[in-house]
Chains A and B, each alone.
Chain A
Amino acid sequence: MNGYCHPTLILIALCIVGIPLKAASRTIVLDLESTAPAGKLSVTQIPKKPAAFVIDEPAKLSFQQKADLDSLLSKAHAAPTYIVIKKGKLPVPAALYGNELLSRWTGGENAFSAMVLQADSPIPETFVIIAGRNLDAPTRNDLLQLGNAALALIDKQPLQFADIRQIATALSEAINTFAQFSGESPFITANESSAGKQDTAMSSTPVTVTGQPVSITRHQSQTSQWDLLAARLDWSLIRILFITICAIILLIITIMVLRRIRRRRPLFFPVHEPRHRFSAPYSGGSNAQIKYVED
C-alpha cells in the first residue's frame, strides 16, 4: 500500500479504538406524575405485572435463583423493587420503559418503587430506575445518590446472578428505608403539591449518573414514533458505520489531494546532448504551421 495511506489508516484505527463498546450502567430517577407514558408500545413489549418480583425473559436465572430473589424482594413493603432482565434491546429509551412498567405495576399504591432493568443485548446495559411521585429536587438527588450507591457495589457490568442480587438487595433495602423515613409525609398537601409541580415542571427530568440534569421539558418527554424508531436502531453500529464512512471519505479526499499535488509538481524532461542539424545552434527546425483563414 502506498505510504500516503498511513495517516488515514491510523485515523481509522484511532476511531475504532476510541469507540466505547460497553455502555455504562446508570441510574434514572422518574417522577411518575410528570413523566409521560411511553405509549405506542405493543402488548408483547410490555410484560404483565409479575406474580413475583422477577422477570427473566432470556431465562438466565435458574428456578432456585429466581425464588431466592423473589423471597428477598418480597420482604420490602414500603417500596416494591423489581428485577427485569429484558431479552434483546429495549423498545424505547430506558426511562420511558421503566416508567411504563412501574406506573402500570405499582399504580397509586406506593410512593416509591424501584427496578433493576437489564437489557440482555450484545452490548448489555443495566439501569437502576427509581420512581416516585411529586418529587422535589432534594428528594430526586437523594434517590439518584441511592441508586448510584447501589450500582457502585459492582465494579463491572453486573452480568452474574450474584451481582444482580447484590444490587437488588442494596436497592430494595435502601429504597424501603428511604420510603419509611419519608413515609410520614409521603404525599404533600395540595398547595405544596402545586408548588412542587411547578418545581418539577422546571426540573421534571431524570438526573443522570453524572449529576447533570437532562434538559427535557414536559412536552419533549412525549413519546413519538421517532423515539420508538430511535430505540430500535443500533446506535453503536450506526456510529461505527458513520466513522468508517467518514474515514473512507477522508481517505479518498487525501488520495485526491495527494494526486492533485503530485500532478501540479514541476516536471523536467530528460536532458540530452543535441544532435545539431543544418549547423544551427539552438533549433533544428522542428516546427509546424497552420493557416487560420477560411479556404
Chain B
Amino acid sequence: MFEPEDIFSPGRFHCPGCHATLKTAPRKCPHCEFTAESCLARFPFEPPPLKRLMDPDQSLKAYQKKRLSSSIERLEKAFPQITVSFCSLYLPDGVDGRQFGYWILNRCKPASGLDARSRLHHLLILVDRNHKTASATVGYGLDCFLDDMTLYQTLQQSREHFLNKGFVEGSINWINRIRKKLPSIHEKAQIDWKRRFKKRHRYTAGRDLAEQGKTRLNDEIAASRPLSPGPRPTRSGDKPQLDVKIHA
C-alpha cells in the first residue's frame, strides 16, 4: 500500500531537532529522541495566532508590509489551498529558526476545523533577525510536494536578495520564486497522482467488484444447497434443479 509521501517525496525527512535525515516517519527521532512534545515543552508559552504578517517587534515598515502582503496574496490566489505566514522575530541565542517554526506551526491553535485543515497546507517563512537566518516550514499537506531540497534551493536562489536588499525583499523574492515554481510541481503531482492512484483505484475497484460477485454467488449457492448430500452444483443451470429438490 503506497502513501503519497512514498510517491511524491523520496521518503526522507529531517529531524527538526538534530536535522538528521530519517527514512521513515518515526514517533521519536532515533538520534536525539526529538518529539513534538519535547519541542512544545521547550517553549512553554502560548504563541500568537498565525497571521499573514507577524511582526511582534514592529520592525516592518508600512510599505514593506504592503509589498509582502501583496506577494503572499498572489501566491494564495494562485494556490487557494496554501496559506502563507511571514514571521519576523529576534530569537534569542540557542534557538533554531527551523525548530521555532515547527513549534509555531504545530502549537498555534486553529480557529476552526477549516483552519485546522488549511493548516496542513500552511507555509511559514520565519526570519530570525538575530542570527540572520530565514527558514521555511511547511505543513503535512505540502511537504510531499515542497520537499526540503526544493525549499532550500529556492532559499539559496533568493539569498542574494536577502544579502543585498534585506530580508523583506529577500522574502518577497522567495515567495515569488515559489509561486513560479509551484505550477510545474503541481503539474507533475497531478500527472503522478492520476497515473498511480487511478490505476490502483481502478484495479482495487475491479478486484473488489469481482470479490463481491464471488461472495454473492457463494451465498446464493449456500442458500440453495440441498439438505441431502448430492452432486456439487455447477454455476450454470443448477438453480432449477435445486429449487425442485427443495420444493419437493
Interface membership of B80, Cβ < 8 A = yes
Q: Is the CB of B4 within 8 A of A266?
A: no
When C-beta atoms are compared, the residue in chain A nearest to B128 turns out to be: A289
**Residues of B contacting A289 with CB < 8 Å?**
96-98, 133-136, 152, 155
The answer to whether B78 touches A266, judged by C-beta atoms less than 8 angstroms apart, is yes
Are the C-beta atoms of A266 and B101 separated by less than 8 Å? no
Q: Which chain B residue shows the least CB distance to A264? A: B78
Q: How far is the CA of A276 from the CA of B148 in the complex (A)?
A: 17
Q: In the complex, what residue of chain A is closest to B156 when comparing beta carbons? A: A290
Prevailing SS type, chain A contact patch:
loop
Partner of B106, one of A274, A283, A293, A294: A283
How many residues in B have their beta carbons less than 8 Å from beta carbons of A?
A: 69
Is A156 engaged at the interface, CB distance under 8 Å to the other chain? no
Q: Is A181 an interface residue (CB 8 A)?
A: no
Q: A282-B120, A288-B136, A294-B163 given as contacts; is B106 within 8 A of A269 (CB)?
A: no
Residue in contact with B152 in the complex, picked from A264, A270, A271, A288, CB distance below 8 Å: A288
A285 contacts B13, CB within 8 Å?
Answer: yes
Once the chains bind, are A269 and B143 in contact (CB under 8 Å)?
no
Q: How far is the CB of A277 from chain B (nearest CB, A)?
A: 4
B119 touches A282 (CB 8 A): yes
| B77 lies within 8 A of chain A by Cβ | yes
Contacting residues, chain A, for B79 (C-beta < 8 A) = 266-269
Task: Find out whether the CB atom of A269 lies under 8 angstroms from the CB atom of B25.
Answer: no
- Beta-carbon contacts under 8 Å, A250-275 to B: 263-264, 266-272, 274-275
Q: Is the beta-carbon distance between A275 and B3 smaller than 8 angstroms?
A: yes
CB-nearest residue of chain B to A291: B133
Say yes or no: B122 contacts A292, CB within 8 Å.
no
Closest residue on chain B to residue A289 by CB atoms? B135
CA distance A83 to B177 in the complex (A): 77
Residue of B nearest to A292 (CB): B162
CA distance A282 to B116 in the complex (A): 8
Q: Report the separation of the CA atoms of residues A279 and B120 in the bound assembly, to the nearest whole angstrom.
A: 14
1/0 contact trace for B5-49 toward A, CB 8 Å?
A: 100000001111000000001111100001111010000000000
The reply on A286 being an interface residue by CB < 8 A is: yes
From A264, A268, A272, A276, contact of B25 by CB (8 A):
A276
Chain A residues near B106: list those with CB within 8 A. Answer: 280-283
Residue B200 CB within 8 A of the other chain: no
B131 at the interface (CB under 8 A from A): yes
A172 CB → nearest B CB, Å: 78
Residues of B within 8 A of A (CB): 3-5, 13-16, 25-29, 34-37, 39, 77-81, 96-98, 101-102, 105-106, 116, 119-122, 131-149, 151-152, 155-156, 159, 162-163, 167, 170, 182-183, 186, 189-190, 193, 197
Given contact pairs A266-B77, A283-B138, A285-B16, a sample of 12 additional A-B residue pairs in the complex whose CB atoms are under 8 Å apart: A267-B78, A270-B190, A270-B197, A272-B141, A272-B144, A278-B29, A283-B106, A285-B98, A286-B142, A287-B102, A287-B151, A292-B133
Can you offer 24 A-B residue contacts whose CB atoms are under 8 A? A268-B80, A269-B186, A269-B189, A271-B141, A272-B141, A274-B140, A278-B29, A279-B35, A283-B102, A283-B143, A284-B140, A285-B98, A285-B102, A286-B142, A286-B143, A287-B14, A287-B148, A288-B155, A290-B133, A290-B155, A290-B162, A291-B132, A292-B133, A292-B170
